[in-house]
Amino acid sequence: MAVGVNLPAGQTASAVFQSILMGAAERFDALAPYVEGLNKQNLADRLIPFEAARAAISSPGRVDAAALMARLGAERLVYVLEDDVEVPLSEYMVAPADPLSLTARELGSARGLTPRIHYDGKTFAGQEIRYLADDMARRNTITEAAHDGLSWVARQSALDLTGQKFAVLGAGAELAPTEILLRAGATVLFIDLVSAEKFVADRSIQSGTIVYAPQGANLLTHPAEIAATIEAFAAGDAVHVGAYAYVGGKAMEWRLTGVMNAIIRSLDPSIVQSIGLYVSPTAPAQAQTEDVVTSLAGYSDPSFWDRAWKKMGVLKRNLHQHGETHWPRNIVSLQGASYLAAQYLEKRLAAEVFATRGIGTGEKQPITVSANVAGITQTRSMQIPTFQAGFLGAPALGIETYLPETTRWLSGLLYLEGILDPEAVASAKHNPFEDENEKARRMSSVQVHGAVYSHPYAIEGAIARAALIGLRKKPSLIPGFVGSLMGKK
């Protein structure tokens, strides 16, 4: 095995993930029915009712279950030394480590960043963002909470982050908000393997201060050193920590999200001002009231073609109901167990615990956590024939997907609203919620789902239908599409 952060040798992501869910079910009786006969094939189908049942556990049980699974996930990660010896990652992280050598470069003074979003070939800037938010909410592609967040952004004449420090893990990732932070004047610790200098030059960024390790920073091989680097960068000040690294394959999704959480947990809680991350729209999520109404109405009044596809068994009802709550059937099996574990354990559940109890192990110290659901985006990782065809056909079904630039600014601005607006649902400063459950529910309500949650039908059937429409538009995708169905690359 490669030196660095891994799952234990010989254990698959699916098997480890299943063991964590079963461990939670042993502690919480409400979860037990959903792990009976659990296996690799039914994992995706079982996880949504499992999560719905967890969310229904009365306070403090909901967050207790999240904390247990987050802890079990952390315990499964190991650090592989050069002699192939595995040590628990949590044990590795407490060993003394020297910070990386850093270079700081002042790019220029910011006069304040005018918020803007590039969407559907147009640019919405400043107060125009409110018009975009109104339109997206009307079409049920964002939730009311996301609409409120964008409305707050639209009211700001400029965003000025001068004097604020951000440590961004995965700063060069395709969707990371690094460029926005620098343009708004922030001081950014750039943690990534990609060149910080090239990142700045390619985007012609001329404001803010970028701090980086000239040799790059590898999250998987140098997590303890990176944690020490963040502590040194903070120099006693409060730091916003962003967790945005992503690479697919070889359980990298889980390993990267897991190590970013391990780094955060190892920091002195007093220096962590906020935590930022994005949750995938294909991770378990509670549908908001406005989307439930739209989805149920669409299902009860199907079109001619909807009825035909339903008879063929391709389309299934989208919403799973648990008590008075509804949960979209939004998991895509093709994305795999590592992706699902990363999004559910290391993002959804970890964010809930950070937001309600903090990052320490002692007294509860809730922290501001901005964990909005980012839209389905045409990133490099999605460039496989099934998804490419689906992107082409999705508009015919009323489902939106986004270019990377759109998501980078749309979700990036929602991230900033979450940490800067004292009235935001993410804020630890303004917490009118009566218990942890309500806080946990509200903090996950900021969703840019592109109508996946308000659609009448489950996502996998919608993808199949959209892909066939897309193949008609671009027949050149057919050989690759057929090959992917046959398991060929």
Task: Give me the DSSP letters along 34-54.
Answer: GTTT--TTTHHHHHHHHHHHH
Check residue 455 and give its pLDDT: 97
Token pair 């308000």 is found at 454
Could you tell me the CATH superfamily of domain 103-283+335-374+406-452?
A: NAD(P)-binding Rossmann-like Domain (3.40.50.720)
Domain boundaries, the chain: 103-283+335-374+406-452
Q: What digits encode the pLDDT tens for the residues 82-101? A: 989 999 999 999 999 999 99
Structure tokens at 83: 């002699």
Q: Is the pLDDT of residue 486 over 60?
A: no
Token pair 């909901």 is found at 62
Q: Residue 102: what are its φ and ψ, rounded to 5°?
A: -120, 150
Check residue 431 and give its pLDDT: 62
**Among the listed residues 260, 232, 271, the one whose alpha carbon sits nearest the alpha carbon of residue 100:** 232
Check residue 489 and give its pLDDT: 45
Q: Would you place residue 314 in the very low, low, confident or very high pLDDT band (cuts 50, 70, 90)?
A: confident
Parallel, antiparallel or unpaired: strands 208-212 and 103-108? antiparallel
How many Å apart are CA 407 and CA 409, to the nearest integer? 5
Q: Are 332 and 459 in contact (CB under 8 A)?
A: yes
Give me the mean pLDDT over the 424-428 stretch: 87
Determine what percent of the chain is predicted with pLDDT higher than 90.
83
Q: Between vectors from CA 455 to CA 450 and to CA 458, what angle results, nearest 5°?
A: 110
Any idea which of 157-166, 377-386, 414-423 has the lowest mean pLDDT? 377-386
Report the mean per-residue pLDDT for the chain: 94
